[in-house]
């Protein structure tokens, strides 16, 4: 009898299914298992291998099986929630670089605005800044390759590289007409997450733009400098607006800088091994001065952990607008072939037990940014989004819809987000004093000092 030749890819999936089946058999021997779910998964894998084989054999154009499988995994993971993703080797490397203290590059903060690769801000003192790259510039080519349709991580990867190597970028600047090409020599770019200034004698300002490996160290150094002023230190503004988050351990340590004891944040997942409570420890320097923390809808994840901890422990007044509401914990696993898997394993809870997920941190004092030359707009019109607006977002508590949970009602239309470009550039004290939310924070600190003196 003649045997039918089986496609090698088919053999691979048959082997995978066989191994899984063998594992289930072992588990069944060791104890009870939900057989219905196991059988459903088994049938699903068989269906998947059938689809791959049919497409590979019969699709109108030749297909790359590896590419098909990658895209299938992408779709599977992306359907879980907005923060889980399957990372190809290049993206996995970039994710690892983003949490370190420095990298080789040209020194710009970029984003995709209306589908165009746009400079948010050049970093002071870097090759891009020295060459005259400006906020708002659109990067239309990198080394003669069009950036149209290019993913953000791909653009970042092409502009980063070893020190003293060159990269060419073509810029389109509003009002100048013709594109202009820049040849830049890469340098080591420090990821500066903490900046500080004296707002007025006795009152300091610290901006934390993200949480990387050096954040706590840099914050401590900034506070030491501010606190050593000759005028005596009376109060601090901590600006977490538009801070998207970063490393969990750094968020815990930053909160611990201001706390002496108690829970900073707790983590609870489906698997008990992921449950953990992080506590504050006594500090050598006790910071008893009043603190105002500024947050907005761009403050997410690690920023919300810090704000929530200081709010629950009544260590700071939280001012601004309700934060983003990204209260889920992701872990990153290295996979074979240089791939990575980032997926959600738990939810964050503030010291009082409140879930941050899809709810955010509600400020003690709501202060919207001042709008000049236009009326306030609704959230839909202004384009502001929070975690709860994202497709497939996790619920605040497993099994409960958001409308079942207590959440303060909206107090009115949201204000338009202020221009975030100033967050990444050097701090200008005069510009800070024109920032309505910073002014209100400073006024609150000064008022506290006045009342304290009145009361003796």
All structural domains of the chain with their residue ranges: 8-63, 102-190, 194-329+344-454
Which range has the worst mean pLDDT, 30-34, 61-65, 221-225, 268-272?
A: 30-34
The pLDDT value recorded for residue 101 is 60
Check if 342 is active-site: no
Flag whether pLDDT at 314 surpasses 90.
yes
pLDDT in tens, 155-201: 988 999 999 999 999 999 988 889 999 999 999 887 788 999 999 99
Pairwise CA distance, residues 344 & 331, whole Å: 6
Q: Is-contact 387 360, C-beta < 8 A? A: yes
pLDDT at 413 over 90: no
| pLDDT range class, residue 430, cuts 50, 70, 90 | confident
List CB contacts of 196: < 8 A, sequence separation 6 or more.
204, 205, 206, 207, 222, 223, 225, 226, 427
The three-class DSSP label of residue 361 is coil
Q: Which residue has the tokens 């699903």?
A: 44
Q: Does the pTM of the predicted model rise above 0.85? A: no
CA distance 361 to 376: 22
Q: What is the pLDDT of residue 304?
A: 96
- Which residues have CB under 8 Å from 383's CB, separation 6+? 417
pLDDT for residue 31 is more than 50: no
Which one from 303, 312, 368, 422 is the annotated catalytic residue?
Answer: 312
CA distance 168 to 166: 7
pLDDT bin (cut points 50, 70, 90) of residue 424 is: low
What band does 425 get if pLDDT is binned at 50, 70 and 90?
low
CATH no., domain 102-190 = 2.30.42.10
* Residue 189 near residue 122, CB atoms below 8 Å: no
Share of the chain above pLDDT 70, in %: 80
- Tens digits of per-residue pLDDT, 225-282? 999 987 789 999 999 998 888 889 999 999 999 999 999 999 999 999 999 999 999 9
pLDDT of residue 146: 95
121 confidence band (pLDDT: 50, 70, 90): confident
Residue 130: predicted pLDDT: 92
Range of weakest confidence among 91-105, 130-144, 171-185, 229-243: 91-105
Rounded to 10 degrees, the C-alpha dihedral 228/230/235/240 comes to -50
Q: Which of 195, 268, 326, 354 is catalytic?
A: 326
Burial track 107-128 (b if 16+ CB lie within 10 A, e otherwise): bbbbeeeeeebbbbbbbeebbb
- Between helix 35-58 and helix 8-30 the angle, nearest 10°, is 180
Does residue 5 surpass a pLDDT of 50? no
Is 81 among the catalytic positions? no
CATH class of 194-329+344-454: alpha beta
Whether 342 contacts 83, CB under 8 Å: yes
Say which range, 221-225, 385-389, 425-429, has the weakest mean pLDDT. Answer: 385-389
* Residue among 426, 376, 394, 336 at smallest CA distance from 135: 426
Q: Report whether 155 contacts 147 (CB < 8 A).
A: yes
Q: Give CA 134 to chain center in angstroms.
A: 24
List, in sequence order, every residue forming a beta bridge with 185; answer none if it has no partner: 166
The single residue of 85, 301, 415, 422 carrying the catalytic annotation is: 301
CA distance 9 to 28: 29
Q: Which residue reads 């977002």 in tokens?
A: 393
Supply the pLDDT for residue 423. 58
pLDDT band at residue 355 using 50, 70 and 90 as cut-offs: very high
Rounded distance between C-alpha atoms, residue 233 and residue 227, angstroms: 5
Q: What integer best gives the mean pLDDT of the chain? A: 82
Helix ranges (DSSP H) in 107-184 = 127-131, 152-159
Cα–Cα distance for residue pair 428/425, rounded to 1 Å: 9
What average pLDDT does range 35-57 have in this prediction? Answer: 87
Return the minimum-mean-pLDDT range out of 6-20, 216-230, 416-430: 6-20
* Strands in 88-202 per DSSP E: 102-105, 108-113, 116-122, 138-142, 145-146, 166-172, 180-185, 187-190, 194-200
* Residue 319 pLDDT > 90: yes
Alpha carbon distance 451, 237 (integer Å): 18
Give residues with Cβ within 8 angstroms of 388, minimum separation 6. Answer: 325, 358, 359, 402
Residue 399 pLDDT class (50, 70, 90 cuts): low
Active site residue 326: yes
Fold matches, 102-190 and 194-329+344-454: no
Mean pLDDT, range 274-297, rounded to an integer: 94
End-to-end alpha carbon distance in the chain? 102
Question: What percent of the chain lies above the pLDDT cut of 90?
Answer: 51
Residue of 151 and 183 predicted with greater confidence: 183
Q: Residues near 172 by Cβ (< 8 Å), separated by ≥ 6?
A: 137, 138, 140, 179
Residue tagged 């900073």 (tokens): 264
């Amino acid at each position: 009898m003649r045997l039918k030749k089986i496609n090698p890819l088919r053999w691979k999936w048959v082997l995978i299914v066989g191994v899984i089946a063998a594992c289930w058999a072992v588990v069944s021997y060791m104890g009870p298992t939900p057989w219905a779910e196991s059988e459903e998964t088994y049938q699903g894998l068989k269906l998947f291998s059938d689809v791959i084989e049919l497409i590979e054999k019969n699709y109108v154009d030749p297909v790359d099986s590896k590419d098909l499988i990658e895209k299938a995994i992408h779709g599977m993971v992306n359907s879980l929630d907005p923060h889980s993703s399957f990372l190809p080797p290049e993206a996995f490397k970039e994710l690892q670089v983003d949490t370190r203290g420095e990298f080789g590059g040209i020194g710009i903060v970029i984003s995709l605005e209306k589908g165009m690769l746009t400079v948010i801000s050049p970093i002071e003192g870097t090759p891009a800044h020295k060459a005259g790259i400006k906020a708002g510039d659109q990067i239309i080519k990198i080394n003669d390759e069009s950036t149209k349709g290019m993913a953000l991580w791909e653009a970042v990867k092409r502009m980063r590289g070893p020190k003293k190597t060159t990269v060419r970028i073509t810029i389109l600047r509003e009002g100048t007409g013709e594109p202009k090409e820049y040849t830049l020599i890469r340098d080591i770019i420090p990821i500066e997450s903490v900046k500080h200034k004296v707002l007025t004698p006795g009152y300091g300002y610290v901006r934390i733009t993200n949480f990387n490996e050096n954040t706590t160290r840099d914050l401590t150094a900034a506070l030491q400098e501010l606190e050593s002023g000759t005028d005596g230190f009376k109060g601090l503004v901590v600006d977490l607006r538009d801070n998207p988050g970063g490393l969990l351990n750094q968020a815990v340590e930053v909160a611990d800088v201001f706390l002496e004891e108690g829970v900073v944040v707790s983590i609870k997942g489906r698997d008990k091994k992921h449950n953990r409570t992080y506590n504050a420890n006594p500090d050598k320097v006790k910071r008893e001065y009043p603190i105002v923390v500024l947050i907005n809808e761009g403050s997410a994840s690690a920023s919300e952990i810090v704000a929530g901890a200081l709010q629950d422990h009544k260590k700071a007044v939280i001012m601004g607008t309700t934060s983003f509401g990204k209260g889920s914990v992701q872990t990153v696993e290295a996979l074979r072939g240089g791939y990575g898997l980032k997926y959600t394993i738990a939810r964050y809870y503030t010291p009082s037990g409140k879930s941050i997920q899809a709810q955010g941190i509600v400020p003690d004092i709501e202060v919207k940014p001042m709008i000049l030359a236009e009326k306030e707009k609704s959230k839909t019109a202004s384009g502001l989004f929070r975690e709860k607006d994202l497709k497939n977002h996790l619920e605040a508590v497993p099994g409960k819809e958001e409308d079942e949970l207590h959440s303060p009602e909206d107090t009115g239309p949201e204000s338009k987000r202020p221009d975030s470009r100033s967050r990444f550039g050097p701090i200008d004290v005069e510009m800070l004093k024109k920032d309505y939310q910073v002014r209100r924070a400073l006024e609150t600190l000064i008022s506290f000092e006045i009342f304290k003196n009145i009361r003796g």
